[in-house]
Structure 1
């Protein structure tokens, strides 16, 4: 399984780069006197430009190969961390109502986003190397690796930010990890998309970049892929609302500082890793991918309601596990189902669209959810259940139209 090590590392670093920042961004924003919604905005900026970059990088990898695009992407991530360090060192001059460092931090998130769509390329790289049967468990392993990143990232982010050099400790850690990853890609990742399988680049106008339905129309995937794309949109929208508010919710509910928030998110990541590495694999083997997806969406509905019912930390952790289990069951299944049913010649572009759906949701909904949360607090989570419920509705529409066996890898 050595051939998958670069993909595992890339998946790990992608999640780690994001999870390292989660416990410190709310405090960074607060330290410059900015309102809570700016936290959501910084997440939105990264995802908005990832939304533009992901399908472009995926399509470029179909034309130029996987390795050069991954090198470009990881270089952009490294540069973004360096810009973040520069921002922290700048004086707090006000510019259009906000401190100058916040504007530079926003710039770093934009750069990381535009070059950070390498998840679609990584997924295409894995698809190149795997058989139909292997896809089912390899994408599960990738989910487990992502879970490890979710474990280590928040705890590491909180601990390194609580040292004598503050947030710079987290940023220097991120730079080191990015350098190691870049060297690994350069030295050990082998090209998996040979010249004879590459497709000529098609002209794409700006509307095809910004409007996902136009991308889907151009690629013309199977009707089944379209159903999965629709389900993923509602699931990703839920994740956008969740990501934009969960750190704020935990700070308000338990009065966490940066280290405590990081350690709590470490526990959350532990749940996610164990669930994705072991529990999701068990359910997929027993129920199949599609039934596992249904179960995951049901757990999301129950978990979103349950976490608003208590202020007791231990009971909250128990309730949160239900939500966490739902997320863990859904993450690997979406990618495996989409990958198995995608046209092999368009793997990069189709996985790019899949990632763009996620990026679009993260681009739009975190800042919206942060604004709404500032008004109605945790009541927001009770409205959020409409999103996984909508995904369930489309799942059952798909079953009726195509038959439940069609959804199995």
Structure 2
């Protein structure tokens, strides 16, 4: 492993970990302070919303100031956010505007972690600066794999460390150690890849275009088929936002999991996802093509959402859940591959940025909405969520009708 890539690997891992390690403990933290379930969704939304805002701003700053200082500042911000979280759990449960004071401080830590954790764009820019065209073909693949590992390891690590004698502090101290190691690695091993002679001032960022994705789509003006894919991705990402905002709550309600059991179960879910994406999705793409694989994934997602509400038996639940997991696994890798194949090569970077922006927007908006609705109607929410992949399928068939010759 080349030393120059170590900081990028660590930054990618820590960014994902900052989201995933808290998934099994946040429901219990929220409940311990007597807050309603929707607060769990709000805390997820705060992180994603400020990451959505922070990513383009940090990227622009790195073009003007260099990669290393921005990465150091952003990683220091992530470390500080974990320290603030630790402080929050030591504070008295003084009521403030309807909630315990520690929850307000936890929210502040998630905001700080989100806005400084939006450094993926800077990390990718650094990797682009220091790699040859040949290296890019596999280094970015490694980064995607490392992000997947973070999603697998994070929930399990969160549950196991919270189950120690230190409780939630065990999870937070683990995160502090990992963030500190990453900060040291960036300082020691990352060399500035964007010299001053290449730092030309850019036009001012249009904040409206950053926040309002249809304006970005209008400016780039992609092909009609890409617009169909964007619409399909919106409905799929909205479903994922609802799923992420409620799944931990649903599992705790259904099986009365403690924090360790929830973390382990989510670890198993992550393994399913990794294996399906690594092997099963490739099999289907090879056999039936990418677009038909996407359609199959949306169908299985819809069936899986209904299936997981049909049993309270853990063994059957795992079997039913695999249907949903497989559906998600077939969709994840195919969206970007279809977009990249069908996009104008001269606008590929911007178009892929819009694709990621759609996902970030949905993760920023829908978890808290989902948690509020779940608090009111429980698992019935999943039967209504079926409408989202079904709407994705409607646009898929529009794509087949209009652009069938382009689909593969």
TM range (shorter): 0.7 to 0.9
> Mean Cα displacement is larger for which, 53-62 or 152-161?
53-62
State the partner residue of 2:46.
45
Distance between the aligned counterparts of 1:65 and 1:403, measured in 2?
45
Q: CA deviation at 1:339?
A: 4.6
Contact 2:238 2:363 in 1 (8 A): yes
State the partner residue of 2:36.
35
Q: CA deviation at 1:316?
A: 0.5
Deviations 1:223-251 (A, max 9, x none): 44433322221111001100111011001
Contact 2:273 2:325 in 1 (8 A): yes
Distance between the aligned counterparts of 1:73 and 1:225, measured in 2?
33
Contact 2:18 2:113 in 1 (8 A): no
- Aligned CA-pair RMSD: 3.2
State the partner residue of 1:320.
321
| 1:356 and 2:357 aligned | yes
| 1:267 and 2:268 aligned | yes
Deviations 1:101-157 (A, max 9, x none): 11011011111112222344555666775869986x876655543332232211111
State the partner residue of 1:155.
156
State the partner residue of 2:393.
392
- Larger RCO, structure (CA 8 Å, separation 6 or more): 1
Distance between the aligned counterparts of 1:331 and 1:103, measured in 2?
34
Contact 2:158 2:263 in 1 (8 A): yes
| 1:304 and 2:305 aligned | yes
State the partner residue of 2:90.
89
Q: CA deviation at 1:284?
A: 3.4
User: Alignment partner of 1:21: what SS?
Assistant: coil
State the partner residue of 2:332.
331
Over 3 Å counting, the alpha-carbon distance change for 1:165 and 1:344 in structure 2 is: farther
Q: TM-score, normalised by structure 1?
A: 0.87
User: How many residues are paired up?
Assistant: 406
State the partner residue of 1:245.
246
What are the residue-to-residue correspondences of 1:205-220 with 2, within 5 Å? 205-220=206-221
User: Alignment partner of 2:312: what SS?
Assistant: coil
State the partner residue of 1:16.
17
Distance between the aligned counterparts of 2:321 and 2:5, measured in 1?
32
Q: List alignment gaps of at least 5 residues for structure 1.
A: none
What are the residue-to-residue correspondences of 1:119-138 with 2, within 5 Å? 119-122=120-123
